[in-house]
Copies of this chain bind each other. A is one copy, B any other.
Amino acid sequence: MRTLSSQELYAGRVLQLHEDRVEMPDGSTAERVVVDHPGAVVIVPLDGHGNVLLVRQPRYAADRKELLELPAGTREPNEEPKATARRELREETGFDTRDLIPLGGFYSAPGFLSEYLHLFAARDLFASKAEPDEDEFLSLQPTSLDNVPNLIRSGEIEDAKSIAGLLRVIFLEDLTD
């Protein structure tokens, strides 16, 4: 695919929106509206006692619901994903770590959104100081890993990055001793 032209529709601090004319694989042309996002991280913090540290927070964009999620956050300009992960872990949970395990990542909504989430597991947690952004309303909820499948099936955990990150760590990795 090749960009033939691009029209800016909105340029915000975090998100940009543009509509591009694109040459498709067969040589035809198509329009694509794209939301550009700087990328983010999502962390699976394991406390070594069979719990994962989740955060509960009100989500205005998600029908104003309070969701139970993995800690996550947006990359600052030029910030390495690992540095973002450690910063967001500290800010959102009050715990820090020197043991971040990179587990690849995934696109949030590849049909129209450029956001790529880097996934990390975090072990050997030690107490730091929670410093949520001033307009976040987070509460920490340590949750038994054994109970995560129930919380996913019941819809208590209902965002894609948390379900993907938790199930990956629980069923595909050997980290949750």
Residues of B within 8 A of A116 (CB): 62-63
The complex places the Cα of A167 from the Cα of B170 at a distance, in Å, of 10
Q: Is the CB of B172 within 8 A of A153?
A: yes
How many chain copies does the complex carry? Answer: 2
Which residues, 42 to 57 on A, are CB-close (under 8 Å) to B?
none
Return the contact of A167 from the options B33, B62, B164 (Cβ within 8 A): B164
Residues of B within 8 A of A171 (CB): 149, 167, 170-171
**A interface with B by C-beta (< 8 Å):** 1, 9-10, 12, 14-15, 17, 19-20, 22, 24-26, 28, 30, 32-35, 58-65, 67, 69, 72, 74, 104-117, 135, 137, 149, 152-153, 155, 158-161, 163-164, 167-168, 170-172
